[in-house]
Structure 1
């Protein structure tokens, strides 16, 4: 077990149901003590730290994940205790916006290929030509096909409950990519506002060329990647418009 007092939360993925009825959240952040981006999971659905918060937390190696960046919270792992496990985090403050770029500079790569070559499972990337798209999920209980039938109780968690799954199309130094966007705040926004408002996510995320992406690979498929969160303030803005404060207006709460 190791206790660190400088874990900075950078992103949380949409909660997913486990086979035993619990709901799991995966998170990723950075620690100067560990000199690395690190992944902490599973978290509980409620009470997880906010983005850019600095936390003291006790960690242990996750025995089900051999990626060097992967940890789990030290504590009671029984199903009965799961909903309280996020109390392990102790909030110590927030990283000022002016210090975020320096904090993450060493963890930035030019391409997904570079991340694969370095055999890292988390990275920051500065993409070009960001474009938000949506993949239709016909098996969702909210899809037009399924809505015609009485599906009974609707699932309370998981990306598969949504009729449209967000993706980001972008270019890095090695070429084009089209990755799933698993940011919890995006799905929370769609849950609250419905499919008709999903296109508003692009504006809320400020998808212009000064944005950066926190990406992570899959445990079982190490060369397959997803976007954990969209981050601002890590590189020189392309214009005055790009300096709009991150997560402003109606998406602020969902994307925090």
Structure 2
């Protein structure tokens, strides 16, 4: 969304905390939701959560495709069509990638950004009238996966057909599975949330596409097992897992996991 001439826009620094897997929108075509942390201009102190939406990430110029855990500078403005206070629009052409935050010293610098932004629970996020945040569950009780639609809806297919005609691009892969966690918070509340983190969907796609199995079913089964190994065997045993969560615009009480934060224990 290129709004470079809009006077309300201000240049801000943002730490990119997570990106959701692209979806097909009849209004915005192909969109990605990015969650990040607004930073102080002078010392990079974390200030507040922000949501950048909509953004057609795969259509960005290559030098503006910000990776996760990068600090960017960009012109943004409050999204006046979204009641959630964290929601902003961005001028795509203004994006500058400043630096990438590494994993040295057990994710020390990443923790310095994320830990001050923690909430105790989903309930606290709601009580403070926020729509995005990070929580650390008391226990992660179960990993799960489930099958979903294998095809985009008819409306979404129509949007893709228009995109292919006017703006040739690589077709967006529909992932026919959802992954998620059932977990318990510190206050004893239990939740069962699906994960929309692009990183996890990419893990599935890479494992499927690299599989040497001869059938689609075999490749998918191998990919599902690789994802399970990562999210269950590795993350639940070796990593100190927290969830970046966000709600849905049209269902403010419905949250999902939009990103995983997983430094080693």
Which TM-score tier does this pair reach, normalised by the shorter chain? Answer: 0.7 to 0.9
The offset of 1:56, in angstroms, is 0.6
- Give unmatched runs, 5+ long, in structure 1: 75-84, 143-152, 234-241, 244-256
Q: CA separation in 2, counterparts of 1:67 and 1:9?
A: 18
Note if contact 1:216-1:226 (Cα within 8 Å) is conserved in structure 2: yes
Residue of structure 2 in register with 1:207 after alignment: 235
The offset of 1:228, in angstroms, is 0.8
Q: 2:111 aligned with 1:101, yes or no?
A: yes
Selected match of 2:10 from 2, 14, 29: 2
Q: CA separation in 1, counterparts of 2:192 and 2:142?
A: 9
Q: CA separation in 2, counterparts of 1:202 and 1:31?
A: 33
SS of equivalent residue, structure 2 residue 199: helix
Q: 2:25 aligned with 1:18, yes or no?
A: yes
Q: CA separation in 1, counterparts of 2:230 and 2:95?
A: 28
Alignment deviations for residues 208-234 of structure 1 (CA, whole Å, 9 cap, x no partner): 26111111111111111011111123x
TM-score, normalized by length of structure 2?
0.71
Residue of structure 1 in register with 2:51 after alignment: 39
Q: CA separation in 2, counterparts of 1:130 and 1:229?
A: 18
Q: CA separation in 2, counterparts of 1:130 and 1:228?
A: 18
- CA RMSD, aligned part only? 2.4
- Give unmatched runs, 5+ long, in structure 2: 1-8, 41-45, 153-160, 162-169, 209-218
Q: CA separation in 1, counterparts of 2:115 and 2:131?
A: 16
Residue of structure 2 in register with 1:92 after alignment: 98
Residue of structure 2 in register with 1:81 after alignment: none
Q: 2:201 aligned with 1:187, yes or no?
A: yes
The offset of 1:172, in angstroms, is 1.0
The offset of 1:168, in angstroms, is 1.6
Q: CA separation in 2, counterparts of 1:202 and 1:140?
A: 20
Residue of structure 2 in register with 1:198 after alignment: 224
Residue of structure 2 in register with 1:54 after alignment: 71
SS of equivalent residue, structure 2 residue 251: coil
Going from structure 1 to structure 2, the CA distance change for 1:21 and 1:2 (only over 3 Å counts) comes to closer
Alignment deviations for residues 130-163 of structure 1 (CA, whole Å, 9 cap, x no partner): 53211222x3249xxxxxxxxxx9x9437xx332
Q: CA separation in 2, counterparts of 1:177 and 1:44?
A: 31
Q: CA separation in 1, counterparts of 2:113 and 2:235?
A: 22
Note if contact 1:131-1:207 (Cα within 8 Å) is conserved in structure 2: no
